[in-house]
Structure 1
Amino acid sequence: MTDWLTATLLVVAAAAGIVVAVLLARDEPAQDRTFVLLGVVEVVVLVQLVYGVVALSGTDRDVSGVLFVSYLVGNLLALPIGVFWSLAERTRAGTAVLLVAILTVVALQLRLETIWGGVA
């Protein structure tokens, strides 16, 4: 994977996490602007999925392909699940679910970097 893609994802996810944490502290549901920011995070994750699959197909690294692609797909699905849950639950709990989804994306990203380094 590339450092710039990882850094971009972590910065955008951190910004989204801060926004959602503020909403959670204020006991407010997520707003349209929040979902736009989460959409940006999801686009970066989608770019990472495409780039990761292409990089995996052209590498000679000792990377478990199934594990790597599974993490890429899981990373892509984590945020939409949290968003749909948050839209169904328009309370503080729904906002908390968004924060957990963002933290899940960050954790999966860090694990992807470890897997790409050859540590399964």
Structure 2
Amino acid sequence: MILWFTIAQVAVAGVAGVVAIVAGLAGRRPGDVTVGGLALIEVLLLAQIVTAVIAPLAGNPPTGSLLEFWVYLVSAALLPPVGVAWALVERSRWSTVIMGVAALAVAVMVWRMHVIWTVQVA
């Protein structure tokens, strides 16, 4: 994994998560900003999938468990679409909070993926 890209993903997911939680607790329903934040997170995760396929071929193999890394990556990539789908079905302030929690979970999962890729020894 690339450190600057990991930090960017964690920052975007963290900001999107906090914005969605604050908006939900303020009584706002899902809107362009909150759904757009999760869409941006998903685009970054799709770029991470491409990077994770190319990196080992370019001489940057993971030091930890490759299976564990991919389970985290696929799970993280599924969270934003599921959160948005839930929000569009329910359309309440609590679904906005759920989207925020999903975004924060992605931030933690991306950092864990970075640790698996760079720090652990298999």
Q: TM-score, normalised by structure 1?
A: 0.87
Shift of 1:56: 3.5
Verify the 8 A CA contact 1:53 1:69 in the aligned structure 2.
no
Q: How many residues are matched?
A: 120
Matches of 1:72 and 1:56, distance apart in 2: 15
* Unmatched segments (≥5 aa) in structure 2: none
> % of aligned pairs identical?
37
Q: TM-score, normalised by structure 2?
A: 0.86
Verify the 8 A CA contact 2:6 2:110 in the aligned structure 1.
yes
1:68 alignment counterpart: 69
**How far does the alpha carbon of each residue in 1:4-56 deviate from its partner, in whole angstroms, 9 at most, with x for none?**
11111112112212321221121111112322222111111111111012224
Matches of 1:25 and 1:119, distance apart in 2: 42
Matches of 1:95 and 1:31, distance apart in 2: 8
Q: Which has the higher contact order (CA 8 A, sep 6+)?
A: 2
CA RMSD of aligned residues (A): 1.8
Q: Residues 29 and 107 from structure 1, CA distance in 2 versus in 1: closer, same or farther, beyond 3 angstroms?
A: same
Matches of 1:62 and 1:43, distance apart in 2: 25
